[in-house]
Amino acid sequence: MAPETDLKTKIDGFPGYGDDEAREKSDELVRSYLGERLAELQQRLEPLDASLNDRLGDLLMRTVFTNQAVHKLYDGGSTDVDLDAVARADEQTIALADQASSIDSAELGAYLISVSKILDEREAAMSGRPSR
């Protein structure tokens, strides 16, 4: 199944990447999906160690606000953004978000590293630059 098709089955109303408005909405929906799972994880594992709680809070902030540095995705037909790479990163983000319900306190640190990495990969894909 193509990444965009899979995302449409996971996220109600996922518009895909057809135009600037759809790409912006898709970004918002993917970040929201992840953010909701992270918030549920944080609540379920409370109380958390202060450093883990801070790291989780930082990741939640990344899901709430659009990163203006990567707005090329919505920049009027930018040709250097690989939409397939964005879709793959979004699919990986959703898959990682779906794992949140099974993460326990012992796994949280490694999970947060994975979440940070996939958010970095999404931002790289959205900005048209290669991921690290």
- pLDDT digits over 118-128, tens only? 999 998 888 87
Establish if 56 belongs to a structural domain: yes
Check residue 126 and give its pLDDT: 83
Place of tokens 């590293």: 113
Establish if 49 belongs to a structural domain: yes
pTM: 0.88
How many C-alpha atoms does 119 have within 13 Å on its Cβ side?
Answer: 25
Establish if 2 belongs to a structural domain: no
Establish if 5 belongs to a structural domain: no
Number of domains in the chain: 1
Mean pLDDT in residue range 32-53: 96
Q: Evaluate if residue 129 carries a pLDDT over 90.
A: no
Distance CA 57, CA 118 (A): 16
Distance CA 123, CA 103 (A): 24
DSSP at 80: T
Domain carrying residue 52: 20-127
- Give the residue, 119 or 76, on which the prediction is more confident: 119
Task: Work out the mean pLDDT of the chain and round it to a whole number.
Answer: 87
Establish if 75 belongs to a structural domain: yes
Establish if 3 belongs to a structural domain: no
Establish if 99 belongs to a structural domain: yes
Establish if 12 belongs to a structural domain: no
Check residue 75 and give its pLDDT: 61
Least confident of 8-22, 32-46, 93-107: 8-22
